[in-house]
Amino acid sequence: MNIGLVLHPERARATEVAYEVIAGATARGIKLFAADDEAVNLPGVETGDLETTELVLSIGGDGTVLEAVKRALPLGVPILGINLGQVGFLAEIEESQIEETLDRIEARQWGIEERMTLKAEIEDGPTAHGLNDIVISKRMVNRLAPLSVIVDGVPFRTYRADGMVVASATGSTAYSFSAGGPAVDPGLRALFLTAVAPHSLFSRTLVFEPDRVLGFVAGSDRPIGVEVDASDLGELANGQGVQVTAGDIDARFATMDGKRFPHTLQHKLGLDGD
Protein backbone atom coordinates (compact mmCIF):
# COMPACT_ATOMS: atom_id res chain seq x y z
CA MET A 1 0.00 0.00 0.00
CA ASN A 2 1.02 3.63 -0.50
CA ILE A 3 0.73 6.42 2.03
CA GLY A 4 1.71 10.07 1.73
CA LEU A 5 4.00 11.93 4.12
CA VAL A 6 3.99 15.61 5.11
CA LEU A 7 6.58 16.89 7.60
CA HIS A 8 7.04 20.08 9.57
CA PRO A 9 9.72 21.74 7.40
CA GLU A 10 11.83 23.23 10.19
CA ARG A 11 11.44 20.89 13.14
CA ALA A 12 14.33 18.48 13.67
CA ARG A 13 12.15 16.24 15.81
CA ALA A 14 9.80 15.75 12.86
CA THR A 15 12.69 14.33 10.83
CA GLU A 16 13.67 12.03 13.68
CA VAL A 17 10.13 10.71 13.97
CA ALA A 18 9.95 10.38 10.18
CA TYR A 19 12.92 7.99 10.27
CA GLU A 20 11.05 5.88 12.82
CA VAL A 21 7.96 5.88 10.58
CA ILE A 22 10.06 5.01 7.51
CA ALA A 23 11.67 2.06 9.27
CA GLY A 24 8.34 0.75 10.50
CA ALA A 25 6.60 1.27 7.17
CA THR A 26 9.41 -0.43 5.22
CA ALA A 27 9.24 -3.46 7.54
CA ARG A 28 5.54 -3.73 6.79
CA GLY A 29 5.83 -3.30 3.03
CA ILE A 30 4.25 0.15 3.07
CA LYS A 31 5.57 2.65 0.51
CA LEU A 32 5.91 6.30 1.51
CA PHE A 33 5.45 9.18 -0.93
CA ALA A 34 5.92 12.93 -0.67
CA ALA A 35 4.47 15.43 -3.12
CA ASP A 36 6.80 16.50 -5.91
CA ASP A 37 7.21 19.98 -4.42
CA GLU A 38 7.59 18.76 -0.82
CA ALA A 39 11.11 19.14 0.58
CA VAL A 40 11.30 15.64 2.07
CA ASN A 41 14.73 14.34 1.08
CA LEU A 42 14.76 11.20 3.19
CA PRO A 43 15.84 7.71 2.19
CA GLY A 44 12.82 5.48 1.81
CA VAL A 45 10.50 8.30 0.74
CA GLU A 46 9.68 8.62 -2.95
CA THR A 47 8.42 11.77 -4.62
CA GLY A 48 5.34 11.45 -6.75
CA ASP A 49 1.62 11.93 -7.05
CA LEU A 50 -0.27 11.65 -3.73
CA GLU A 51 -3.31 10.60 -5.74
CA THR A 52 -1.98 7.03 -5.54
CA THR A 53 -1.99 7.05 -1.72
CA GLU A 54 -4.66 5.66 0.60
CA LEU A 55 -3.74 7.91 3.51
CA VAL A 56 -1.68 11.06 4.12
CA LEU A 57 0.35 11.03 7.33
CA SER A 58 1.45 14.36 8.81
CA ILE A 59 4.27 14.66 11.34
CA GLY A 60 4.32 17.89 13.34
CA GLY A 61 1.67 20.05 14.97
CA ASP A 62 -1.70 21.31 13.81
CA GLY A 63 -0.03 23.56 11.22
CA THR A 64 1.45 20.49 9.56
CA VAL A 65 -1.98 18.86 9.53
CA LEU A 66 -3.37 21.94 7.79
CA GLU A 67 -0.61 21.65 5.16
CA ALA A 68 -1.57 18.00 4.69
CA VAL A 69 -5.21 19.04 4.27
CA LYS A 70 -4.23 21.40 1.43
CA ARG A 71 -2.63 18.51 -0.40
CA ALA A 72 -5.17 15.80 0.40
CA LEU A 73 -8.45 17.74 0.16
CA PRO A 74 -8.73 17.87 -3.65
CA LEU A 75 -7.82 14.17 -3.81
CA GLY A 76 -10.31 12.97 -1.22
CA VAL A 77 -7.52 11.19 0.66
CA PRO A 78 -7.91 10.95 4.46
CA ILE A 79 -5.37 12.56 6.80
CA LEU A 80 -3.84 11.21 10.00
CA GLY A 81 -1.59 13.37 12.19
CA ILE A 82 1.26 12.43 14.52
CA ASN A 83 1.35 15.18 17.12
CA LEU A 84 4.65 16.91 17.90
CA GLY A 85 3.05 20.22 18.81
CA GLN A 86 2.11 21.80 22.13
CA VAL A 87 -1.61 21.09 21.97
CA GLY A 88 -2.51 19.39 18.72
CA PHE A 89 -6.29 19.24 18.37
CA LEU A 90 -6.00 18.01 14.77
CA ALA A 91 -3.22 15.44 15.19
CA GLU A 92 -4.67 12.35 16.82
CA ILE A 93 -1.60 10.11 17.25
CA GLU A 94 1.12 10.59 19.88
CA GLU A 95 4.72 9.44 19.36
CA SER A 96 4.25 6.49 21.70
CA GLN A 97 1.54 5.10 19.39
CA ILE A 98 3.54 4.95 16.15
CA GLU A 99 4.15 1.20 15.99
CA GLU A 100 0.57 0.36 16.94
CA THR A 101 -0.66 2.89 14.36
CA LEU A 102 1.50 1.41 11.59
CA ASP A 103 0.08 -2.03 12.41
CA ARG A 104 -3.42 -0.69 11.96
CA ILE A 105 -2.49 1.17 8.78
CA GLU A 106 -1.06 -2.04 7.34
CA ALA A 107 -4.35 -3.79 8.18
CA ARG A 108 -6.34 -0.78 6.88
CA GLN A 109 -8.08 -0.53 10.24
CA TRP A 110 -9.14 3.07 10.45
CA GLY A 111 -12.41 4.94 10.52
CA ILE A 112 -13.27 8.12 8.61
CA GLU A 113 -14.55 11.43 9.99
CA GLU A 114 -15.89 14.00 7.56
CA ARG A 115 -15.14 17.63 8.51
CA MET A 116 -16.81 20.68 7.00
CA THR A 117 -14.43 23.07 5.28
CA LEU A 118 -14.66 26.78 4.48
CA LYS A 119 -14.29 28.68 1.21
CA ALA A 120 -13.19 32.29 0.77
CA GLU A 121 -13.70 34.16 -2.51
CA ILE A 122 -12.23 37.63 -2.87
CA GLU A 123 -14.22 39.84 -5.23
CA ASP A 124 -12.41 39.84 -8.60
CA GLY A 125 -9.65 37.87 -6.90
CA PRO A 126 -8.57 34.40 -5.79
CA THR A 127 -10.53 31.62 -4.10
CA ALA A 128 -9.28 29.10 -1.55
CA HIS A 129 -10.54 26.35 0.72
CA GLY A 130 -9.52 25.91 4.34
CA LEU A 131 -10.29 23.65 7.26
CA ASN A 132 -9.97 25.87 10.33
CA ASP A 133 -10.81 29.49 9.64
CA ILE A 134 -10.96 32.52 7.38
CA VAL A 135 -9.49 35.64 9.01
CA ILE A 136 -10.15 39.14 7.67
CA SER A 137 -7.97 41.54 9.64
CA LYS A 138 -6.01 44.78 9.72
CA ARG A 139 -2.42 44.92 8.53
CA MET A 140 -1.45 48.15 10.25
CA VAL A 141 -0.63 48.41 13.95
CA ASN A 142 -2.86 50.79 15.93
CA ARG A 143 -5.42 50.93 13.14
CA LEU A 144 -8.86 49.31 13.17
CA ALA A 145 -10.30 47.31 10.29
CA PRO A 146 -13.82 48.64 9.59
CA LEU A 147 -15.75 45.80 7.99
CA SER A 148 -19.34 45.74 6.82
CA VAL A 149 -20.81 42.28 7.38
CA ILE A 150 -23.46 41.06 4.94
CA VAL A 151 -25.51 37.89 5.51
CA ASP A 152 -27.17 36.27 2.50
CA GLY A 153 -26.89 39.54 0.60
CA VAL A 154 -28.52 41.63 3.35
CA PRO A 155 -26.41 44.16 5.31
CA PHE A 156 -26.07 43.00 8.92
CA ARG A 157 -23.81 45.47 10.73
CA THR A 158 -20.44 47.21 10.53
CA TYR A 159 -17.74 46.10 12.93
CA ARG A 160 -14.83 48.23 14.04
CA ALA A 161 -12.30 45.70 15.26
CA ASP A 162 -8.85 44.28 14.71
CA GLY A 163 -10.51 41.73 12.46
CA MET A 164 -13.16 39.05 12.00
CA VAL A 165 -12.77 35.28 12.20
CA VAL A 166 -15.08 32.84 10.46
CA ALA A 167 -14.34 29.40 11.88
CA SER A 168 -15.60 25.93 11.20
CA ALA A 169 -16.36 23.68 14.16
CA THR A 170 -12.96 22.05 13.61
CA GLY A 171 -11.27 25.46 13.75
CA SER A 172 -13.22 26.62 16.79
CA THR A 173 -10.32 25.62 19.06
CA ALA A 174 -7.80 27.70 17.09
CA TYR A 175 -7.80 31.51 16.58
CA SER A 176 -11.55 31.76 17.18
CA PHE A 177 -11.12 30.27 20.65
CA SER A 178 -8.32 32.73 21.45
CA ALA A 179 -10.62 35.57 20.37
CA GLY A 180 -13.32 34.46 22.81
CA GLY A 181 -15.29 32.02 20.68
CA PRO A 182 -16.65 28.68 21.92
CA ALA A 183 -15.01 25.28 21.69
CA VAL A 184 -17.27 23.24 19.41
CA ASP A 185 -17.55 19.55 18.63
CA PRO A 186 -15.94 19.22 15.16
CA GLY A 187 -18.83 17.17 13.83
CA LEU A 188 -21.14 20.19 13.95
CA ARG A 189 -21.73 21.92 10.62
CA ALA A 190 -21.96 25.68 11.14
CA LEU A 191 -20.18 29.00 10.58
CA PHE A 192 -18.86 30.74 13.71
CA LEU A 193 -18.31 34.49 13.39
CA THR A 194 -16.14 36.15 16.04
CA ALA A 195 -14.84 39.72 16.16
CA VAL A 196 -11.21 40.16 17.25
CA ALA A 197 -10.81 42.94 19.85
CA PRO A 198 -14.01 44.76 18.78
CA HIS A 199 -14.55 48.42 19.71
CA SER A 200 -18.14 47.73 20.64
CA LEU A 201 -20.19 46.60 23.62
CA PHE A 202 -21.43 43.74 21.45
CA SER A 203 -18.72 41.09 21.11
CA ARG A 204 -20.51 37.74 21.18
CA THR A 205 -19.77 34.99 18.68
CA LEU A 206 -22.55 34.49 16.16
CA VAL A 207 -23.43 31.02 14.87
CA PHE A 208 -24.89 30.58 11.39
CA GLU A 209 -26.27 27.63 9.49
CA PRO A 210 -23.76 26.16 7.03
CA ASP A 211 -25.69 27.32 3.96
CA ARG A 212 -25.42 31.01 4.88
CA VAL A 213 -23.30 33.32 2.74
CA LEU A 214 -21.21 35.73 4.81
CA GLY A 215 -19.80 38.79 3.07
CA PHE A 216 -17.22 41.27 4.37
CA VAL A 217 -16.57 44.62 2.71
CA ALA A 218 -13.55 46.80 3.55
CA GLY A 219 -14.59 50.20 4.82
CA SER A 220 -11.38 52.22 4.52
CA ASP A 221 -8.18 52.64 2.55
CA ARG A 222 -6.22 50.93 5.32
CA PRO A 223 -4.94 47.53 4.18
CA ILE A 224 -7.11 44.59 5.22
CA GLY A 225 -5.78 41.10 4.62
CA VAL A 226 -7.57 37.80 4.09
CA GLU A 227 -5.98 34.60 5.38
CA VAL A 228 -7.17 31.03 4.92
CA ASP A 229 -5.77 28.69 7.58
CA ALA A 230 -3.01 31.27 8.26
CA SER A 231 -2.01 31.39 4.57
CA ASP A 232 -2.31 34.75 2.82
CA LEU A 233 -5.05 34.88 0.18
CA GLY A 234 -4.89 38.58 -0.65
CA GLU A 235 -5.71 42.10 0.41
CA LEU A 236 -8.98 44.03 0.19
CA ALA A 237 -9.10 47.52 -1.30
CA ASN A 238 -11.58 50.07 -0.02
CA GLY A 239 -15.07 48.87 -0.99
CA GLN A 240 -13.86 45.43 -2.05
CA GLY A 241 -15.39 42.36 -0.47
CA VAL A 242 -14.72 38.73 0.33
CA GLN A 243 -17.39 36.05 0.51
CA VAL A 244 -17.15 33.17 2.99
CA THR A 245 -19.23 30.00 2.71
CA ALA A 246 -19.04 26.35 3.63
CA GLY A 247 -16.58 24.55 1.39
CA ASP A 248 -17.51 22.55 -1.68
CA ILE A 249 -15.89 19.40 -0.32
CA ASP A 250 -15.37 17.92 3.13
CA ALA A 251 -11.96 17.12 4.58
CA ARG A 252 -11.54 13.46 5.50
CA PHE A 253 -9.72 12.42 8.67
CA ALA A 254 -8.63 8.90 9.50
CA THR A 255 -9.34 8.01 13.10
CA MET A 256 -7.79 5.19 15.08
CA ASP A 257 -8.91 5.28 18.68
CA GLY A 258 -12.46 6.53 18.41
CA LYS A 259 -11.97 9.15 21.15
CA ARG A 260 -14.63 11.79 20.99
CA PHE A 261 -14.46 15.54 21.40
CA PRO A 262 -15.12 15.78 25.16
CA HIS A 263 -12.16 13.48 25.86
CA THR A 264 -9.95 15.40 23.42
CA LEU A 265 -10.88 18.71 25.04
CA GLN A 266 -10.16 17.32 28.51
CA HIS A 267 -6.78 15.94 27.48
CA LYS A 268 -5.53 18.81 25.30
CA LEU A 269 -6.53 21.58 27.71
CA GLY A 270 -5.61 19.69 30.87
CA LEU A 271 -9.18 19.68 32.17
CA ASP A 272 -9.03 16.04 33.27
CA GLY A 273 -6.89 16.98 36.27
CA ASP A 274 -9.49 19.28 37.89
175 burial via Cβ count (<10 Å: 0-12, 13-18, 19+): buried
**Options 49, 62, 103, 152, the catalytic residue:** 62
Give the integer Cα–Cα distance in Å for 254 and 92: 9
User: Which residues are registered as beta bridge partners of 194?
Assistant: 165
> Is residue 99 within 8 Å of 37, Cβ to Cβ?
no
Q: Phi, psi at residue 163, to the nearest 5°?
A: 170, 180
Q: Could you tell me which residues come within 8 angstroms of residue 236 by beta carbon, excluding any fewer than 6 positions away?
A: 122, 136, 216, 217, 218, 223, 224, 225, 226, 242
Give the integer Cα–Cα distance in Å for 224 and 217: 10
62 catalytically annotated: yes
Q: Starting from the edge strand earliest in sequence, which strands make up the sheet with 133-138, in order?
A: 206-208, 191-196, 163-167, 133-138, 224-228, 231-236
Q: Is 45 helix (H, G, I), strand (E, B) or coil?
A: strand
Q: Starting from the edge strand earliest in sequence, which strands make up the sheet with 214-218, in order?
A: 127-130, 118-122, 241-246, 214-218, 145-151, 154-161
Mind telling me the catalytic residues? 62
